[in-house]
Amino acid sequence: MSTQYNRFIGIIPARYASSRFPGKPLVQIGGKSMIQRVYEQVSKVLDCVYVATDDERIAQSVEQFGGKAIMTSDKHKSGTDRCYEAYLKSASGKEIIINIQGDEPFIQPSQIETICACFDNKETQIATLVKPFTENDGEQALFNPNSPKVVLNKDMEAMYFSRSVIPYKRGEETNKWLQSHNYYKHIGLYAYRADVLEEITKLPQSSLELAESLEQLRWLENGYRIKAGVTHVETVGIDTPDDLKRAEKFLSEQA
């Protein structure tokens, strides 16, 4: 494992109670639990990886496959808060925490490497990933409110995230938008310097966050800068049982 990643700790928040898909981290995909697949993918890059959970069943499952789990409070309102508690309990002393979603079983090592590279710049406070929409994605994907969009400044920092399409192309048919502008889809992988993570967990919910139901808007509203790394890898997030079928199909196609 490269020493360039010694500054980083990977934390995977995982809850058992999900309104849309209870027990989601433990569902089997091709003979392995989803949480095991996420953990193994992240461990290809990082030596220091933990699952942060409030459920003993998930913790036991992680330990059975040889992973490390940290029990956290069941009162957390966000994965960011759970991530920070796990970081403190890890006593790892790492400078930078990477928050990996527990429902992305096919996250690629290149994506972890890309978000780590954002911290080559000492000014980076928070980092995330974006993926350019392509014409092949089509208009329906661009307008999907469950797929947040982001606009970036010239320094590849986020200016705004929205479930709406931004920017709006005035005077042009919507089916031409992908041909004439680079639109970015937000990939929900985050990394934070330890002191910044501590600060943002203390912030009250903001008006933009409540409007769009996007936690990262709270950070922007409070003046934090979010650096964006670009990935061209498509991910398969699992929110519902139907998504699980897509994931199994994706896995069989990779075999």
User: Quick one: CATH architecture of 1-105?
Assistant: Alpha-Beta Complex (3.90)
Q: Tokens representing 144?
A: 């999907």
Give 18's pLDDT tier (boundaries 50, 70, 90).
confident
Choice among 45-59, 77-91, 193-207, 233-247 with the minimum mean pLDDT: 233-247
Give 208-240 pLDDT, tens digit per residue: 999 999 999 999 999 999 999 999 998 778 878
> Is it the case that residue 77 has pLDDT exceeding 90?
no
Q: Tokens representing 82?
A: 């759970």
Q: Is 84 left (phi over 0), alpha (psi -120 to 50) or beta?
A: alpha
Q: Where are the domains of the chain?
A: 1-105, 108-187+194-234
> Is it the case that residue 40 has pLDDT exceeding 60?
yes
CA atoms 199, 48, 127, 240: torsion sign: negative
Query: Using CA atoms, how far apart are residues 210 and 222, in angstroms rounded to an integer?
Result: 14
Query: Using CA atoms, how far apart are residues 67 and 135, in angstroms rounded to an integer?
Result: 40
Indicate the angle between helix axes 34-43 and 109-117, nearest 10 degrees. Answer: 50
CA 195 to each of CA 87, 201, 218: distance values in angstroms, whole numbers, following the listed order: 11, 10, 17
With respect to CATH, is domain 108-187+194-234 assigned 3.20.20.70? no
